[in-house]
Amino acid sequence: MSHILTLVVDRTSATLSDAIIARVADAIQCRPVVLLSPGEAADLPCAAPPDMAAVAAALDGAAVDAIPTRARGRRKGLLVADMDSTIVTTETLDELAAFAGLKDHIAAITRRAMNGELDFPAALRERVGLLKGLPLEALEKTWAATVFTPGARELVATMRAHNATTALVSGGFSFFTARVAAAVGFDVQRSNVLLDDGRALTGKVGEPIQGKNAKLTALHELAAARGLKMAATLAVGDGANDLPMLLEAGLGVAFRARPVVAAEARAQVRYATLRALLFAQGYRLDEIVGTD
């Protein structure tokens, strides 16, 4: 079989029933079913690319993610992940802005930038400029409230255990990415730098700004360093600045993504946790390292 359709649910809120699996398998004529995690994930081997319209009709609105991949080379040697709203559950800059009483205003700019409606570097400079004078303790308070997305540690630990390089590449800031990378276990982290005077933010960001081209560049550079073809890479993100790397990677996954990203990405996860990215590579439950 040349292709695989992986069905995944969020095990904390749903069950992948035999009935749902059978309904999808019948709709696209893909068998035999391979259970990856009972009640959570299953593979359907297919002789051709699965008809995703037929899959959607068979699922009939059920909270099940369906991820199509090629059967060959499913396990990837490089992961490049976005941070905000991907590895962590929030937009850290928006949360930081709350300490300046500007969360709603800055979050509105963030939404437009992530939807591709604004130039990313210009929008970042604007948002950071509004935070001029914010005391540095606001950064520590924001970090203390930051929550990791379920499955993040499992994704990174499992891929590293199978000799993959893992990189956190963000349009956010090194104050947060350094801590997230250390806590989750990423090999590499790249991001922007918030400038300060030792007491408060200056309202400036270090140049050059890491935008969408930086993420794509990181994907290529890290793949080349490992001698990997693009087919052997995995990228995940949610915003418009992630889209170039998602389209270039061997497996590019839009994770609970903005509409403009979900519309263009070849694969997306709307319901499940980041464990879905492991199941999409063919990992079974007993191969997953650690628990979130």
Residues 53 and 260: beta-carbon distance below 8 Å? no
Catalytic member of 10, 43, 65, 84: 84
Catalytic member of 82, 94, 238, 242: 82
Cα 143-116-123 angle, rounded to 5 deg: 55
DSSP annotation of 88: B
Type of residue at 38:
P
Is 65 catalytic? The answer is: no
Can you read off the two tokens belonging to residue 116? 């591709």
Report d(CA 148, CA 168) in Å as an integer.
13
Is 82 catalytic? The answer is: yes
Angle at which helices 103-114 and 120-129 cross, to 10°:
170
E strand intervals along 162-290 = 165-173, 188-192, 194-196, 201-205, 233-237, 251-255, 267-269
Neighbours of 105 (CB within 10 A): 14
Per residue in 255-289, is it b (16+ CB within 10 Å) or e — as a string? bbbbebbeebbebbbeebbbbbbbbbbbbeeeebb
Residues marked as catalytic: 82, 84
